[in-house]
Amino acid sequence: MHRFGISREMSARVSRKATSWLDTCKISRYMSSLSFATVEAEKICGSQPAEVHNLVQGKWVQSSSWSTLKDPLNGEPFIKVAEVDKSEIKPFVDSLSKCPKHGLHNPFKSPERYLLYGEISTKAGHMLAQPQVSDFFARLIQRVSPKSYQQAMGEVSVTQKFLENFSGDQVRFLARSFAVPGNHLGQQSHGFRWPYGPVTIVTPFNFPLEIPVLQLMGALYMGNKPLLKVDSKVSIVMDQMLRLLHACGLPVEDVDFINSDGKTMNKLLMEAKPRMTLFTGSSKVAEKLAEDLKGQVKLEDAGFDWKILGPDVQQEDYVAWVCDQDAYACSGQKCSAQSILFMHENWSASPLISKLKELAARRKLEDLTIGPVLTVTTEAMLEHVQKLLKIPGSKILFGGEPLENHSIPSIYGAFKPTAVYVPLEEILKENNFELVTKEIFGPFQVITDYKANQLPMVLDALERMHAHLTAAVEVIGSSVNGTTYAGLRARTTGAPQNHWFGPAGDPRGAGIGTPEAIKLVWSCHREIIYDIGPVPNQWKIPAST
């Protein structure tokens, strides 16, 4: 099969132009030095398929059947995944069941493990900072979740910085306690962060390294034993990352790793009864898990994310660039992607839309600045656009068409960066609101405008939305999104390791990245009251009360 007139081998290297400084010879030399790796990202193909295994009770194992993944860029079968079926879940259930409720470590049990994980993070952060290792993971991410090299490397960089942040003593500082004076001599109450014990982590395809590593390590830092399930389409990335962590001292029994379909995983959860499950993904699945697991969940689900441009028109080129990045980087496959843009009428009169159109037109498949959409087909996106165009006053601003001259398999979407204008008055109508605010996990956004006296209508739209993940906004007091950027350089996407990323307004909401996020998601509060006396002299048994 050929794409753009080039061979399959070159198709696997579709993004090489973005990093011409790194020649093939250098890559080969780097690859040979990665002792933990069992694959070479650029050599994965139909004749040399990679294999993804499961990890349980300290051993890498296969399963009775394999599923075969297609290369998102050319449809060639290129990865075999050992998927566990319902009859094979017992070892995973047993492994979780062996972990007590008080965890593998806590402030009173095996505290040296806090130091161990500080060391593991130090070594892993150092290893991931090596150019050959970071390049390996960036290339591997590109193979399974195609995005530009810069976007893939950004994911690796955030993960590496996170590991650096929790090196040395930082893990034990996560378990910092406090004391409050008691009512009498010898009494003090102490608050401790306590693990849940057996836990599970379920993460999506769009960030194959960053999301699972940050949540996995947070779980481990606090003393839990996690079972990790990553979307099988991209699980090869965590297969390799776990091998790196083992090389850095991670005890092989501390983490289990499973590949399965959703029904098998659901059955496993029902039988293993983990004390807490972290789920990142669709709202529909999140709500089912919340019900099935009786609320013992933390969720970071859908994000229909919005941006408001106020009346002051300035730095049009910069604002247009941020809007383009927010809406279309990673082909719009970010839970933080800009889904709707509210422009003040002053911006409507500016060149903003024409600049957005020019920036969107720069994106091309050759460098993966636009690429396959892994969960929404081309037909589904076309259908959504047509439904929106039936709303009075709606129109396509740019895009709205399939990509051309590609070999992306039909099971995936291939769509040009798209923006559809819908009048604000129409958005707020009861029969339109659900349609307009439907999250399309691809290169798509809705754009509207408002007059100065219509700001209350914009706020009404925000209040009615169900997803409260990210926002770029000037009305902080009248909104609730958990990760909100404010000011001229405000964005909706880009979650570095130095700030909280997660929704607000939902007690089940999960965060990621920071000490606050780790403590919230992966530990609970335990109060221990020391009351050692002495008993007052001449104390007598009082009357019953």
Please indicate whether residue 323 is annotated as part of the active site: no
Separation CA 123–CA 376 (nearest Å) = 38
Note the Cα 537 to chain centre separation in Å.
61
Phi-psi region of 103 (alpha: psi -120 to 50; beta: other; left: phi over 0): left
User: Nearest-CA neighbor of 298 among 155, 202, 194, 162?
Assistant: 202
Q: Residue for token digits 């460098």? A: 367
Question: Tokens at residue 346, please?
Answer: 């002053």
Separation CA 329–CA 148 (nearest Å) = 8
The catalytic position among 42, 248, 335, 439 is: 335
Is the separation of the CB atoms in 470 and 483 below 8 Å? yes
**Could you give the 3-state DSSP secondary structure of residue 79?**
strand
Q: Residue for token digits 């399959």? A: 8
Q: What is the dihedral of CA 447, 437, 377, 9, to 10 degrees?
A: 60
Is the separation of the CB atoms in 249 and 116 below 8 Å? yes
The catalytic position among 300, 323, 330, 439 is: 300
Q: Which residues pair with 344 in a beta bridge?
A: 450
Is the separation of the CB atoms in 492 and 336 below 8 Å? yes
Percent helix, strand, coil in the chain, to 5, is 40, 20, 40
> In the sheet where 395-398 sits, what is the strand order?
395-398, 418-421, 444-450, 338-344, 305-309, 470-472, 483-485
Is the separation of the CB atoms in 125 and 167 below 8 Å? yes
User: Nearest-CA neighbor of 336 among 499, 114, 138, 111?
Assistant: 499
Q: State yes or no: cis peptide before 507, omega within 30 of 0.
A: no
* Residues with a known catalytic role: 300, 335
